Amino acid sequence: MSSLDDLSTFRTLRQHYEHLEQAGTITSDPAQLRIVDALDRLIEEVSTKRLASKSSALGWLFAKRKQPRETVKGLYVYGGVGRGKTMLMDQFFERVPVKRKRRAHFNDFMADVHDRIQSHRDALKRGEKKETDPIPPVAKALAEEAWILCFDEFAVTDIADAMVLSRLFSSLFAEGVVLVATSNVAPRDLYRDGLNRALFEPFIGILERHAEVIALDGPTDYRREKLDRMQVYMTPCDAETASQMDEAWHAATAGHTTQETRLAVKGRELVVPRANGTAARFTFGELCEKPLGARDYLAIASRFDTLFIDCIPVMGQEKRNEAKRFILLIDTLYDNRMRLVASAEAPPEQLYAGTSGTEAFEFARTASRLTEMQTRDWLETVRQRETPR
């Protein structure tokens, strides 16, 4: 059944959720159902506002009134990875009956905001704008484009974002924007231990006033459950293995679109070619044939909990530098209890063919760790890292 058929057949998220349960596609989860019902209530309230706006050509959002504008309170859903937050957001975004709506990864949205702020400042210098404060006009333009804003993975790590969020969202909410967001952490834990966090903290109160906060705290990590059933080290590097890697990646990312991400490392950027949520995917060449070092691998381990590496080759004397980086990479993943999913030309103990130098000795430890990282006991230690505290 297509998504359009779903929309015409199942009017509410609850109806569609129960259909998926009956079809055996999902297992009913009381924690998820709380979110389903909250999203259905939000859709109903948004629908009521739309109907009430018919008398105004510009609608209730932009109607000029002397009395305070009555707004819709949004929703902020937080919980661990793999709990189904993205699936529920998908269903909400499809069903909410609004044309001016936008769904984005929060980091992408903030990059757009900063670009708009800079464009406004450039126009001000050229004499094309008169407003010295770029935040209100930027917020107004964003609200005119979309008054339902849906954010995946709401997380604040950049000080530039943290410093503008209070004023930006105060202006957005004043324009009647409705926020729906998913996150791995509660609002009070956003930007924890961040630089100048005191300047960020007013945003937390603003967020909690304009969005109902609900924890999706079910015990089951559905993403991890699927991944745990799959092989995590695959040989050799052929078409079948590539297909298995893609299947595992689909499970790790819940089938959602992946994109390039950049990590700041000591004043430069490390490119992550494919990322979604807490999973990242590289080829061996992207990780070990480039001049990367300990800081780069630590940045990856700090940002992600699952790493995919495509086609690890057999390394001989001619690949000593690559072998050194690979040894360092695996040590970093191991020390940080990361889940590794990899394809390789050979089993771990056959990956290094060199016979001289320290690499041959050091690679014995790497091979042992690669073998251990495939075991159930290892995956249990990974679970402890992935579970929010």
| DSSP strand pairing (268-276 vs 279-283) | antiparallel
Asked whether residue 138 carries a pLDDT value surpassing 80, the answer given is yes
**Closest residue by Cα to residue 69 from 178, 208, 180, 212:** 178
* Ordered structural domains, the chain, with CATH: 3-215 (3.40.50.300), 222-386 (3.40.50)
- DSSP class of residue 297 equals H
Output the CA torsion 248→332→372→358 (10° steps).
Answer: 120
The arrangement of strands across the sheet holding 74-78 comes to 101-105, 148-152, 178-183, 74-78, 211-215
Contact 236, 346 (CB under 8 A): yes
pLDDT of residue 36: 92
Q: What is the mean pLDDT of residues 188-205?
A: 88
Q: What is the mean pLDDT of residues 337-355?
A: 91
pLDDT of residue 364: 87
How confident is the model over 29-77, as pLDDT tens digits? 888 889 999 999 999 998 887 666 554 545 545 554 444 455 789 999 9
pLDDT of residue 159: 85
pTM (2 decimals)?
A: 0.58
Asked whether residue 384 carries a pLDDT value surpassing 60, the answer given is no
